[in-house]
Structure 1
Amino acid sequence: MSTEPVLPRVRPEIAALPPYRQGRAASADGFKLSSNENPFEPLPGVVEAVRDEVALNRYPDATAGQLRAALAVRYGVTADDVLVGAGSVSLIAAFLQAAAGPGDEVVYAWRSFEAYPSLTLVAGATSVQVPNRPDGRHDLPAMAAAVTDRTRCIVLCTPNNPTGPIITRAEFEEFLAAVPADVLVILDEAYAEFVTDPEAVDGLGQRVFASHPNVVVLRTFSKAYGLAALRIGYAIGDARVLDAARATLIPLSVTAQAEHAALASLARDAEVRIRVAELVERRDRLVAGLRDAGWDVPDSQSNFVWLPTTDPAVATAFEDAGLMVRPFPDGVRISVGEATSIAPLIDVAKSTILR
């Protein structure tokens, strides 16, 4: 007779689901370029604002009311049109659970953000993955053609993680005209602050949700604002659509520390723009260097670049040089980090292209 304890039964598809794999850390003298983190510390005054405003023995405001009010003023909406969550990924999970279940389908590009497949599976829905174009861009006509009467949600990532290109405004409008108005479209703009292409869709600046109430726009404080450890992001859209996700979000998941850090960061736009401009300059310099080395790098409008390759030795070569990158089966993603990381990255890229 077995002495092993009897464990609770779980859904077999969940038992087979691999856990999220975080980017590898670097040694003390290396560079962590595997998680798309901002290499800058929080903006001046942000840490102090958190320390002075937060009582650790009290629960946070479950609605993040102060932050919602500030974002509503910034984007010209009502506070009910704003939903704050523990990072934009938690909001994606909430929307998928609200919109899709067993028998339903969720359409997204592939390769794209690696959490999309698992979040869809956890919701009980079926993934419909539409391959990217050879240049790493979403194939929006193919995505529109993949929509069926079972489709409940479409997730668009712009700039696309991990390949880097954007969706243009014209492409987005044409896509929306081709899909049913009762299908939820999540526009995941986690890297929007790094975009410099004037043709790019800007979900908030262009207020796409006003004319298309089935569209929800997601943003985060993890990237440009450097608050990744605090896990805070937000969604803006029609309040009636957001209400569904309010019901599925984990209560009290946004800490008071995160809310006050986000509020303090919003008040420091000038400093954010300076830092973003510096990271964009490093990105463009890295892209140019990698292309000069012979790599076919897609146009990146994010804070990372993509090397298309199926050779696992490429990522190993970077890591052996103390450059922790993010390997995927079909490429390597390199986050834009410290200025001093650019030259060694290009040196390793030159050596790998010659193999």
Structure 2
Amino acid sequence: MSPEQLLAPSALPTLRAAVTGLPAYVPGRRSLGADIAALASNESHYDPVPAATAAVAEAAGKMNRYPDMAAVELRERIARHLGVTAEEVAMGPGSVGVLQQIITGLCDAGDEVVCAWRSFEAYPILVELAGARPVRVPLDHAEGHDLDAMAAAVTDRTRVILLCTPNNPTGVPISHRRLEAFLESVRSDILVVIDEAYVEYADAGSGPDSLALYRRYPNVCILRTFSKAYGLAGLRVGYAITTAAIAEGLRRTALPFAVSALAQKAAVASLDAGEEMAARVSLVKQERARMAAELEAQGWRLQPSQGNFLWIRADAPLLALLVDAFDAAGILVRTYQGDGVRITVADPASNNRVLWILEAHAPLATS
């Protein structure tokens, strides 16, 4: 073959069509200065607990060694925390990493995954990357999952159903009663993933008792993370609770050594510091309630959020005005074109800046 043929466009490697057609995941914008309030990513605005920082510092001295690929110590600690066995725990680089393992492990090309929309943006991306088809079901009028419509969307190709509670970005949970009725109506060969990335911020009784549902319905899989309430977003560690057989499969589909030794040690230390973490969560919930009450008094119509964020439904003109106002004030928020804006609850000073901006635009909320 001539050099000209070797360099011809037809001879160059090309990406799969499923990859070239994927929408890029859009992370929250980052802070570029001390006066910028970075409220676009749902991170904890509190530092990690001191024990986690100390554990990372100690583990850093051994970073020349591979981590425990099976994450035995962490899986056993999670198992004790939740009353399951270590065999029912599968780890990954954040809950989104575990979700990719789930989709890879259960879906073949042409299979279907049902999810609510709008919900976590990575859902359809991961599904399409696996060659499967995402089936998006619109949220109901209260910004929550329309479980009846989701059940109706199930076909013989459905392999996985994704339920985000509290939902990201709207903050609306799924009640235990509604989710139990939904599980009764779904085929037992479909894996129902209850994504609880924000469960620590939810008020008691607002959402499902997912562990009770898991013990009753073996096709339930619980997905959780240390990125939010535990403040370990930068270390990337999440997990699933599922049957031992599925968990073993998720470990097989995982990227080897994906959860670093630093992440594993920090997660164990964070679980051991439960009271400190609970105190920080309580502060976020207090601020969330304060902000919601003030915004409603201003005239904004909000659904009660059970995450560490607030959601404002906004059409395109209102959204553009809000984004401009927040940008001018040095506040980074997460926008969803055509749907609305999500604002992470942070420290009181940053939250007050948000309230000031929204008060100035409150007349638009009822127009």
TM range (shorter): over 0.9
Partner secondary structure for residue 194 of structure 2: strand
Q: 2:36 maps to what in 1?
A: 30
d(CA) in 2 for partners of 1:58, 1:250: 17
Which one of the candidate residues 87, 93, 101 is aligned to 2:108? 101
Cα pair 1:197 1:301 within 8 Å, conserved:
no
Which one of the candidate residues 44, 59, 76 is aligned to 2:83? 76
1:259 aligns to 2:264 (yes or no): yes
- Counterparts of 1:1-355 in structure 2 under 5 Å? 7-26=12-31, 27-54=33-60, 55-204=62-211, 206=212, 208-310=213-315, 311-329=319-337, 330-355=339-364
Cα pair 2:48 2:230 within 8 Å, conserved:
yes
d(CA) in 1 for partners of 2:58, 2:247: 31
Identity %: 44
Equivalent pairs, count: 353
d(CA) in 1 for partners of 2:26, 2:207: 30
| One-letter identity of the residue aligned with 2:23 | P
Cα pair 2:199 2:307 within 8 Å, conserved:
yes
d(CA) in 2 for partners of 1:127, 1:76: 33
Partner secondary structure for residue 234 of structure 2: helix
Partner secondary structure for residue 170 of structure 2: coil
Give 1:202 shift. 2.7
d(CA) in 1 for partners of 2:192, 2:12: 39
d(CA) in 2 for partners of 1:232, 1:316: 35
Q: What per-residue deviation string (whole Å, max 9, x for no partner) do you get for residues 51-109 of structure 1?
A: 22341110000011100011111222211011111100011111011111212110000
Q: What per-residue deviation string (whole Å, max 9, x for no partner) do you get for residues 292-320 of structure 1?
A: 22211111001001010023221221121
d(CA) in 2 for partners of 1:336, 1:299: 13
Instruction: Extract unaligned runs of 5+ from structure 1.
Output: none
Cα pair 1:293 1:346 within 8 Å, conserved:
no
Cα pair 2:91 2:251 within 8 Å, conserved:
no
Partner secondary structure for residue 210 of structure 2: coil
d(CA) in 1 for partners of 2:249, 2:177: 29
Cα pair 1:186 1:218 within 8 Å, conserved:
yes
d(CA) in 1 for partners of 2:363, 2:70: 54
Partner secondary structure for residue 230 of structure 1: coil
Cα pair 1:164 1:299 within 8 Å, conserved:
yes
Give 1:211 shift. 1.3
d(CA) in 1 for partners of 2:342, 2:204: 21
Instruction: Extract unaligned runs of 5+ from structure 2.
Output: none
Bigger shift: residues 56-65 or 342-351? 342-351
Partner secondary structure for residue 354 of structure 1: helix
| One-letter identity of the residue aligned with 2:27 | Q
Give 1:224 shift. 0.5
| One-letter identity of the residue aligned with 1:238 | T
Bigger shift: residues 39-48 or 60-69? 39-48
| One-letter identity of the residue aligned with 1:156 | L
d(CA) in 2 for partners of 1:268, 1:33: 26
Cα pair 1:222 1:231 within 8 Å, conserved:
yes
Cα pair 2:76 2:85 within 8 Å, conserved:
yes
Give 1:197 shift. 4.2
Bigger shift: residues 281-290 or 32-41? 281-290
Bigger shift: residues 162-171 or 49-58? 49-58
Q: TM-score, normalised by structure 2?
A: 0.93
Give 1:244 shift. 2.1
Root-mean-square deviation (Å): 1.5
| One-letter identity of the residue aligned with 2:335 | P
